Structure 1
Amino acid sequence: MIVVCDTNVFVRETHLLRKKGGPQLIRLLRTAKGRLFVPEILQKEYIEQTRLAASEERGRASAAISSFKTLVGDLDDRLLPGDEVVDQRTLERLASLDELLLSAPMTKEVLAAAGERSLQKRRPTSKSDHGYKDCLIWESVLRLPRGSEVRFISRDNKAFFEGDNFAPELVDEARNLGIVIAGYRELERALRELQAGMPSLDLAAVEAQDFIERQAEAEVKIGPAVLSATAVHAPPGRHAPVAESSDAVEGDAGLADQKLVSLLTGAQKPFENLDRTVLGCIAYLGDPTKHQLFELLGQLGIAIELARNVAERLAISGLIRDTGNHYLPNDAALAKLAAAAMEPEIIQVLAKGS
């Protein structure tokens, strides 16, 4: 599975996959061994558009700081990052996703094909725009290996879409080259369909894996051997480096396996029954802001990072939707049941708070 995100989705909507479905997409790609296709032209666009978006935010922030300074009379000036720093941070973010990235150079062949397509006014060229950059992206997609399954997420309605559907001529062109492509105008819909297409995907296991990966610097002692957290996550078919005993290899291997199972089981413990709790709190509050929801969950003894991960998992499964500032239930009947189940506990906690 290969995913392509245009700049509107990658930069403007998800802030380099840091919010609004971005983290869920990263987890799904990791679990499904999928790749995020970033041809050279897209990488350049990501950098340029992040710089532009940061400049816009910097202008708004500077105005707010100036107003604040006149209000309070004095304020230590704190410089906001300039373009050079923003570019460096963007490259660092892409580097952090390197294991998921599939790149492609902007070859002379791609440049020529995109230019010809633009001159011939073939999609993704639109009537109002020569769309050369879009043509470069599309020509890069067409050079993926035969058999590739591509999910193309874009808010560019004119270039790649016809109504609500990915342009049929682009679908046919890709199919003739052995590439299956599906287009989405919303990341949320793409996530739902990706999840539906992988019914065996254990989201609890995905969250547990994330939990362990956050401890990547810690060392895990297993009997007489010591494994790093990265060794615990050696892919199937690869053997994690375990210190061997010349006369007790099988015994150590059995002990290591038991400890590993125990470790993974323990990592999933924080997620037990939390789906019901988080959904119940969302339903009980009705239309809570994320701050209100996490505040209530905090009163129930649930750490904010854990609560956020569970909410993201519920959003991926389609039980709730993330509007940006709120989480809203999708199924009214289910929400009513969840609220009723949590009501006594919530009332008790709120009563203590008052």
Structure 2
Amino acid sequence: AMCLLVGPDHVVEVANEFMINLWGKAAEQVMHKPMFEGLPDSTEQGFEKMLGDVYTTGFSFSANEMPVSLIRFGVPEVVYQNFVYEPYKDANGTVLGVLAISIDVTQQVLARHKIEEVVKQRTEELREANAGLAEANISLNHNNKQLEQFAYIVSHDLQEPVRKISIFTKMLEQDLQSLSEKQRKYFDRINTASERMGNLIRDVLRYSVLSKNNELFETVDLNTVANDILSDLELIIEQTGASVHFDELPKIEAIPLQMSQLFLNLISNSLKYSSEGVTPEISITSQLLPKGSATFLSSDSETDYYKMVFTDNGIGFDEEYAEKIFDIFQRLHNKNEYSGTG
């Protein structure tokens, strides 16, 4: 849109169709009239001074996304404009008027305002959601600590009465001179149940200890861990004739107790769940992953990660139980088939 405003009263000498449409007036209402007479709705918005300064000083003026309140075709509207006011001079350099060039950017500005409003609203919703999540996390951490403490206290205090049940049952069985088959069966059931309860309590205690020490990271040599566990399992390895192979394993930043428990559980499970009539063979390998290839939730692209693989020739498990077996105290077999608490 373009127009030429002549003289100190800024008479509209020339105006193209785009400018007349931008003003929202009929041509006869504005042409050859002082601008603020033909456009009284544009007064008191600073344009008098802008045009006056350009006309008197000879310096141009420009503005972007300038809001202008107009009555366009009988309807009050706010129009956003990018415009330039240039002095119109004769051959001697005398300012005769002002050349105004304007671009209507109302739709772009309104669209941006809408986007900004939506972003502001979503940001506020996200802030509220984050605040709620932070509060929920605090509550969850508090509950988890209480549960861990409860599990530790209960499992620790229950060990002694269960131990006494087992001891006194065996003493009573020894004191009785002769037992019927039915009585002996009852004693076997008591001994089996108390032994299983003891194992379960120890596992709960061990799990609570692992949960409470989740920040004690230090350098752990997995070769030392593996050798220590093989030493602990020496008897069952000799009884089964099992072979356990591993090459040089890495040193990693980890919690030592958890690494020992991990190796113990995996190796002992390989020994426990071996195929009948087959000598257990267990292999442990490690592989340094390329940087950035680790995909678990808290992985860091700048940190080195190792992939540890434990393989054996045991009975395995169906793929449908792949998630279930990693839940605490879950088992896939009858307690009479294999020992343990899951």
TM-score interval, normalised by the smaller of the two chains: under 0.3
Q: When the two structures are superposed, what TM-score results if normalisation uses the length of structure 1? A: 0.20
Q: Rg bigger for which structure?
A: 2
Q: When the two structures are superposed, what TM-score results if normalisation uses the length of structure 2? A: 0.20
For CA contacts below 8 A with separation 6 or more, give which structure has more relative contact order.
Answer: 1
Q: From the two aligned structures, give the one with the greater strand fraction.
A: 2
